[in-house]
Structure 1
Amino acid sequence: MISTLRTRHLFFALNRQLLGLTLGQGQVHNFATSSITSGNRAIVYTSNGDPSSVLYAQTFPNLPPPPPNTVNVKFLLSPINPADINVIEGVYPTKPVPSHSLSTSGKGSKDSSLFVGGNEGLAEVVDVGPGITGLQQRDWVVMTKPQSGTWISSKNVSAQDILKVPRSGLSEAQAATMTVNPPTAYNMLHDYVELGEGDWVVQNGANSAVGQAVIQIAAAKGLQTINFVRQRDQIDHLKEHLLGLGATHVVTYEELCGKSFRDKVKEWTGGKNIRLGLNCVSGKTTTFMARLLGQDAHLVSYGAMSKEPLSLPTSLFIFKNLTCHGFWQSRWYLRRTPKERERLFKTLASLMCNGKLKGPEHEVLVVSGTDEDNQASLKIRDTMARLARGKFGKKLLLKIEETL
C-alpha cells in the first residue's frame, strides 16, 4: 500500500507537470510552501517577473490581537487590476513594501523580501486595537494606502490606512472596486474643468472600467458624452451596453478617423465647445479625438493602452489654447487630506446606493480554504496565464479563504 505522504507527493508532482503543460512552458515550477496546516493565506512573490511563474500561495499563522491604533481585518474581495500585474512584473512606478511578518515561524525576518500582491480590496473588521474610535467589528473598510497587499485572507492594518464604507446599499463587488476606477473617473470629470448640465466630454477606451464609470458619473451630472471604442465582434452589443449606462454616443475609432466625422460632432453638439477629453489610449486615435476639442479645452491622460506616444498638433496649443494633464489616482491620494478622501468615498457610495453607478460585471475566483498551498498556487498561476491570454472578459475578483 502506498503511504499517505507518498500519495500527496505524487499528487503535487503530477499537478506541477500539468501546470507546465497548461502554461505552455517546458519547465516544472517549484513552489515555496509552508508547513502551517491552518491559518491565514496570502498570494505572494519574492522577485519580480511573469505572474504565472513567480506567484505562489503561502499559509501563515493566525493574527495576534491588534496593537494600539490598528485593526485586524478579513478580506472579502480583492480585484486583480492590470496595474497589479505591472507591479509584479516590476514595471509599475509604485513599488510594494516587503511583508516581513509573513513568516511560517511567526517571527518574521528583516532580511526577507516577501511581497503580497494586490492594491485594492474590501475587508471586514474582525478585531479593534486600543485607541481606535469610529470602527467596530463587522464594519466594512477599504484600503487607502497604495500597494497595501490585498491578496490575503486576513491582515493587521493601521487605522490611518483604511476608510470605512457603508455596508447597506453596496454590493461587495461595488465596495471592493471603489478605490481605483470610480475615483479616477470622478476626479477627472471634476478637477480640471467646471462642467455644467448639457456640457460635452469625449473619451477613448470607453468600455474600460474607468470609461464605464465616466459614462455613469457624467450622466448623473447631466453631461453629454461621446465615447470611442475599438471595432470588435458584437460591436452593436457593446454600443447598446454603453448607451444603457448613459452614454450619449458610442463610436468606433474607424468612424472617428473618417473625414466627415468632425461635421457630425458639430451637428450633435450644436457647435458647442467640447472642453474636456479623457485619454487612456494615446497614439493616432487620440490625435483625432483631440481635434474635436474646442477653445480652452483640457486633455487628461491616464493611460496609454496603445503603447504609442501622445502626438498632438501644435496648432491646438497655439490657436485653441489646449492644456494637457496627466492623472494618477495614487498621486491624488498622496496629496489630499483624509477629510477629502472621506468626502470622495461618501459621494461615490451615494451614487452607487442610488443606482447611478453600477458595480462592474465580474467573476469571482475563490481560493478555497480546503486547498493545499500547492493547489492554491497552481490555481493562481493558471489564472494569471489565462489573464495574459485575454481569457477573462469581465472584472476578476479574488476571494482568499483562511485555510482549514
Structure 2
Amino acid sequence: MWSFVTRHTGPVKHILATGRHYSTRFGYANSRCLVFSGFGQPEKVLKLHSYSIPPPYDDIINVRFIASPINPADINQIEGVYPERPEFTLGLGTGEKSAVPGNEGLVEIISCGSKVNPSIRPGQWAIMSGPNFGTWRTYAQAKESNLIMIPDKEGISPIQAATVSVNPSTAYRMLKDFAGLGPGDYFVQNAANSGVGRSAIQIGRLWGLKSINVVRDRPGIDKLKEDLKSLGGTEVITETEAKDRRYIAKITGGQPIKLAMNCVGGESATNLTRILGHNGHLVTYGAMSRLPLLVPASALIFRNIHCHGFWISQWSKENEASKSQMIGDILGWIRDGKLKDAPYEATKWSEDTKLEELIEPVKRGISEYSGRKGVFIMEYN
C-alpha cells in the first residue's frame, strides 16, 4: 500500500512527478477524483470516482494535479454552507450530476491542444486562477483562463506552489489594501498561528510593519510564542492578555494600532476592536468560532472604527492582473527564503488510495484546529 498519512514541518522535496503519464494506447488518461452529488457532511456525501480524460484539442490543456490543499472553504462547500457552489455536471460520467470539491491546487501541464498559446508547454507548473475548478482529483482538462502559469519553479516546492493562492494571498491583500499601512505601523491579528496569520507576520516584516499576534491560551504557549516571534512577530500574546488595553499600550508605547485582522469572531473580535486606534480598520476574513461579530457602539461612535469583510475568492475574480503580480511577489519571497511554509499534514494519493484514507484528513479539517494545513499529494507510477 503506497498511501499513508504523514506530518511534515518543511517542504516536500520531490514527492511527485517524474513518473509516466498514465493513459491508454488511444491517449486517454484515467482520472481518480472525489465527488459529491448533494450537500452534507463529507464522510457521508463524498465518493471516489474514476473517469476518462480524452486527448486535448483546440484550446484545451490536459493537466495532472501535483498537490491539492484542503481548506475550510472546501469543506463548507461540501456542507452547502459556503456562498459559492460548484457546478454539478454529468460530464464526469457519474450516474447523477456531481461536482469535484477543492478550490486550490498545483498542476503540471501534460499536453495541449493545437490552439493553446505555444508558450504553454508540457512539464510546466500552474495554479488555479480562481475558485470552483475542482482540485481533489488526479487529472483534468483546463483552459488557459483557468490557470496562472509558474514560469520558474526553481527553488519552490510543490506544497509551496499549491498553497500560495489562499493563505499568503489573503494576508498580502489585507495588509496592502486596508488602513494605509506604512513602515513602522502596527497591526494586530487573532488566529496568528494559522496559515494566514503566519504569512501576515512574515509579509508584515518584509514591509517594515510591526505586529501583535493573538493566539489561544494553551499548554506550551511559550514555545508557540517563540516560534511566531522567530518569523518576525513583534509580540505574541494570548486571548486573555489581549483584553488588557494597558498591557497593549505598554507593548506599542502608546502608538495607535491601525489594522486588526479577524478570523475568529465572538469575544476575540470584540477584543481587537477595543485595542484599535482612532480611525482603525477591523477586517474580518473568517469566523472560526462560529460566533457573531460584536462591535461595541462606542468603538464606532467615539473612535470611528471602520469594519470590513474580505474574501480572497471575490477579490481574485475582480483583479486577475493584480493577482498574477501578487503571486509573483509571494513566490519570489519563497524562492529567496524570505517566506516560510506554515506547518502542514500531507496525505499521499496514489492509484491504490482508498476512499476512507482521503476522507480522514477532510474530517480532521472539520473536527480540530491544529495550525496544520491538510494537503493531498499525488503520486504516479
TM range (shorter): 0.7 to 0.9
> Does the C-alpha gap of structure 1 residues 49 and 217 become closer, same or farther in structure 2, counting only changes over 3 Å?
same
Mean CA deviation greater in 387-396 or 144-153 = 387-396
Count matched residues: 352
Aligned residues of 2:365 and 2:374 also touching (Cα < 8 A): no
Counterpart of 1:51 in structure 2: which amino acid?
A: P
Structure with greater Cα Rg: 1
How does 1:299-338 map onto structure 2 within 5 Å?
Answer: 299-336=282-319, 338=320
1:98 matched to 2:88: yes
How does 1:193-272 map onto structure 2 within 5 Å?
Answer: 193-257=179-243, 261-272=244-255
Render the CA deviation track for 1:164-195: whole Å, top value 9, x for unaligned. Answer: 12311211111000111111000000011221
Deviation at 1:386, TM superposition (A): 4.1
Aligned residues of 2:75 and 2:366 also touching (Cα < 8 A): no
How does 1:114-263 map onto structure 2 within 5 Å?
Answer: 114-133=98-117, 134-165=119-150, 166-257=152-243, 261-263=244-246
Local SS of the residue matching 2:64: strand
Deviation at 1:341, TM superposition (A): 1.7
1:355 matched to 2:345: no
Identical aligned pairs, as a percentage? Answer: 39
- Aligned residue for 1:281? 264
Counterpart of 1:255 in structure 2: which amino acid?
A: E
In 2, Cα distance between the equivalents of 1:317 and 1:40?
53
Deviation at 1:233, TM superposition (A): 1.8
Local SS of the residue matching 1:77: strand
In 1, Cα distance between the equivalents of 2:61 and 2:374?
27
In 2, Cα distance between the equivalents of 1:99 and 1:237?
48
- Aligned residue for 1:291? 274
Q: Using structure 1 for the length normalisation, give the TM-score.
A: 0.83
1:394 matched to 2:378: no
Local SS of the residue matching 2:111: strand
In 2, Cα distance between the equivalents of 1:304 and 1:80?
17
Local SS of the residue matching 1:186: helix
Counterpart of 1:195 in structure 2: which amino acid?
A: L
Give the root-mean-square deviation of aligned CA atoms.
1.9
Q: Using structure 2 for the length normalisation, give the TM-score.
A: 0.88
- Aligned residue for 1:28? none
- Aligned residue for 1:53? 44
> Does the C-alpha gap of structure 1 residues 388 and 281 become closer, same or farther in structure 2, counting only changes over 3 Å?
closer
Aligned residues of 2:273 and 2:295 also touching (Cα < 8 A): yes
Render the CA deviation track for 1:145-170: whole Å, top value 9, x for unaligned. Answer: 21110011010011111101231121
Deviation at 1:387, TM superposition (A): 4.0
Render the CA deviation track for 1:116-170: whole Å, top value 9, x for unaligned. Answer: 1111000000111222223111111000121110011010011111101231121
Local SS of the residue matching 2:56: coil
Gaps of 5+ in 1: 1-35
Counterpart of 1:138 in structure 2: which amino acid?
A: G
> Does the C-alpha gap of structure 1 residues 345 and 147 become closer, same or farther in structure 2, counting only changes over 3 Å?
same
Aligned residues of 1:40 and 1:60 also touching (Cα < 8 A): yes
Deviation at 1:297, TM superposition (A): 1.1
Gaps of 5+ in 2: 1-23
Deviation at 1:390, TM superposition (A): 2.9
> Does the C-alpha gap of structure 1 residues 45 and 141 become closer, same or farther in structure 2, counting only changes over 3 Å?
same
- Aligned residue for 1:113? 97
In 1, Cα distance between the equivalents of 2:105 and 2:205?
26
In 2, Cα distance between the equivalents of 1:357 and 1:99?
39
- Aligned residue for 1:33? none
- Aligned residue for 2:357? 379
Counterpart of 1:224 in structure 2: which amino acid?
A: K
Aligned residues of 1:296 and 1:322 also touching (Cα < 8 A): yes
Aligned residues of 1:275 and 1:298 also touching (Cα < 8 A): yes
Counterpart of 1:350 in structure 2: which amino acid?
A: G
Render the CA deviation track for 1:30-73: whole Å, top value 9, x for unaligned. Answer: xxxxxx9x822111111111111211211112x22223222111
Aligned residues of 1:56 and 1:380 also touching (Cα < 8 A): no
